[in-house]
Structure 1
């Protein structure tokens, strides 16, 4: 298990704690709308944990592969290019993630994104859907308090579990590649 995966497990716990707070507040609520902003916060934290995992995992893999070239101009160039690309790498949807790993690690990790009841194309589509919802949560404040919620509590449980599995299969694929 990579350090990036271990850090993801800690980070995803933040989302789970936010959802527990949501459950507690919603259980104690006597009237009014449920604390929907906590579900949005959990969504944002979940996708932030994913983005951090992708960035850290690529760095970890590049560092491991460049060890034999430590001190060389080639290693310095690759590290400089990685740092430059990391500054503009945001919102790791399936396409960006695929290209990022292909460019720096030489493998299409998205080709390994399958598990029971989830094929590669479905996983890519689900990731892209969660990325879009995160964008809505970050950039679109809910001004109509009567409108439907961006995500349901059940959706957030599925979201967290989806990303846990996605990181697990990504990490396993990279471990097999080494």
Structure 2
């Protein structure tokens, strides 16, 4: 009996004590680290990408007069480049005192019709079998869209929303324990 009970109990309870910090770059340029725990990681990533960008956008060398281009051609107007935008945001709240959660959920349009769900300054009590959903019910997963396993208990990270998803159907991001069908945290979009 103990040979089965102890491992089963440890499997169920041990996630409560384990923490994992995950730090991913924000899809919005210049947005910062997204979490105090990620500040050093994000700054290093931003610094290296800024250096590459500055080198790539440096002014070209002057063209000698002998090889100059012929007379000016008519200017073409290009459509403005798409800028990622926050389409919805909400604050995480725990389901109860035991299942705590805090931080921000940002639904970001990264390209026309393409979205990313971003968690920032995120922290949640760990548990077994935790998953992230977009839902129209802040208290459950009926008619919800599964985005994947919870990547970490702390930090700032992203979930790609499948292409073609009508995000207007959803009003919240939730962290759900499948094994016990329990809500851990929810963020309702404003």
Higher relative contact order (CA 8 A, sep 6+): 1
**TM range, normalised to the smaller chain?**
under 0.3
Q: Structure 2-normalised TM-score?
A: 0.26
Query: Which structure has greater strand proportion?
Result: 2
Q: Structure 1-normalised TM-score?
A: 0.27
